[in-house]
Structure 1
Amino acid sequence: MCYSAEAWALYDGYVKEFGADIDIKAFWELYLGRDERYRIRNKQSDGHKIPKGMDLNFLRPKTELERKIQDLIAEWNGTRLAESQAELDKQRERLAAAEQKLATKPTKTAANEQRIATNKIKQMERWIADAKRTSHQPSKDDRIFPLWYAPVLIVENGQPIVRPMRYLCRPQGSDPSTDYTKTGQVSGKYNARRDNLQKFWRRQFGSTHALMLAETFYENVDDGKGGSKEIQFRPRTGQTMYIACLYSHWTDPKGKEPDLWSFAAITDEPEPEVAAAGHDRTIINIKPEHAMAWLTPEGRSDEELFAILDDKRHPFYEVVKEAA
């Protein structure tokens, strides 16, 4: 399961690579929806999860709609900065109180308070610095997780188009509750198993295909000690991955919930080096020459589409780093 990836967040890359149009209206609706959902839920939700890299598309707006998106981003960041600064001040007070106690009467409780406050302060300082930064740092800014949004490439009416979609597919006809398991965990529908394409994913496979371009991907594997560790993989060739995806445009039959564009990355049996690192699936990285055929599945047989997946690239995914 590809639970996280460093995906292309700057959509100019898609324009240069494919001559793609940008669905700016969809980006505006996404940012507007994030702000509205946050307010409606009385700050009990983070709204839509959008990577910073996507915000940087609107650093220098050229149109009125892009300027509106820039304003929404500025308002959002301003609120987050104010909240982070308030939390930073709170944790500094907490640290000062803990250190005062340690100076007079050292206790485990005071030492624990000191440790927690120190870590929180470092975290808030990082968040504030990142929120203020305008330079692009892909490893920080472009990483997505399930329920996060990313620009993906599709073809509509013969024209490549970049549209923001959520990384966790909700097939049309599904109830929103199926985004989560019965225990409240995020469902696994951010990945579509190849051996399930003609079953669960039948309505998307052969109909609504997308591409996500990415530089690295991340997996959680067993650490051999009863826990897990995160492993980052990158193609040894340094080539951008063309990850085959399926998408759905979900609409609420009752008209109460907003429309949702969402997608899933297709996975297959693991490449040998990925299996050796402890993971049992690998995303399907198709060859660039198959990109347009994959994105235009209408009229193509299942055999032709599976042939594209069979002819995938095998760049050797080397381990970049491991984190406990």
Structure 2
Amino acid sequence: MTRNIYKMPSASHETSDQDREAFVEVDPSGRFGRYSDLLGAGAVKKVYRGFDQEEGRDVAWNQVKLRNFSDDPTVLKRLLSEIELLQTLENENIIVLYSFWMDVENTTLNFITEACASGNLRDYRKKHRRVSLKAMKNWSRQILRGLEYLHTHEPCIIHRDLNCSNIFINGNIGKVKIGDLGLAAVVGKNHAAHTLLGTPEYMAPELYEEDYNELVDIYSFGMCLVEMATMEIPYSECDSIAKIYRKVTSGAMPQAFNKVNDPELKAFIERCIGQPRARPSASDLLQDPFLVITSSEESDGST
């Protein structure tokens, strides 16, 4: 069982003991330690800086206070689904799950995932206002490889909540990974789902009709591109979900789309957010001329 450590270090302790005192808590195996530093917080969970003592690497310690959701059992069910799902996935563009457990004494659900040093793509893009089209193409290819893996998984997995806040990056090597699969749907061979979930600004029109397939993630990816290019969340001009719904279902583009300057990028985004029957798959988009790696990119190591 997870135990909290509150003792202050003393001069008689060995160095390893002193290091352990920095942890607020450790996991049941003693392998992972949690620091107090908060990396991020959402409606359901908090993410803390953690450390894997066995491998000597930083990790993300995700923690859910179950008592906050005791009146809504669907939250716990969704989180357990995320954990079970993450355990089965193995792709370089999907966040890795290392361990999970329930702390009954403190009524928390904890799971340890890979840490991306530079945080999410939304915050990273805001920190770096000058980002080249080549860099955005590199990010796009990686996101699409992750989506291709999910969509061709058996059974098919639809993320359903793809946006720049749950795409993560290791900026020192430009590695991008999709995370937060808590709203993902595992669907059968007909690839149809019927539950309304997601972030309104990124939701495809057919999601509101509750009859959709994995191509809703391609629409969301297109909206991510709008944000990457402009640093504006799509439909930020709307002050209510109802207004977003009206614009999305009527086919009206977000105002931020008009601020995308590159005509090729603009055309590529339009392909992603087109009508469902005309919308390409992740595999199709990876073969799109817009994302084909040029000889100059090959020579400088871009992927």
* TM-score normalised by L of structure 1: 0.26
* Structure with the bigger percentage of strand: 1
- Look at both structures and tell me which one has the larger radius of gyration over its CA atoms: 1
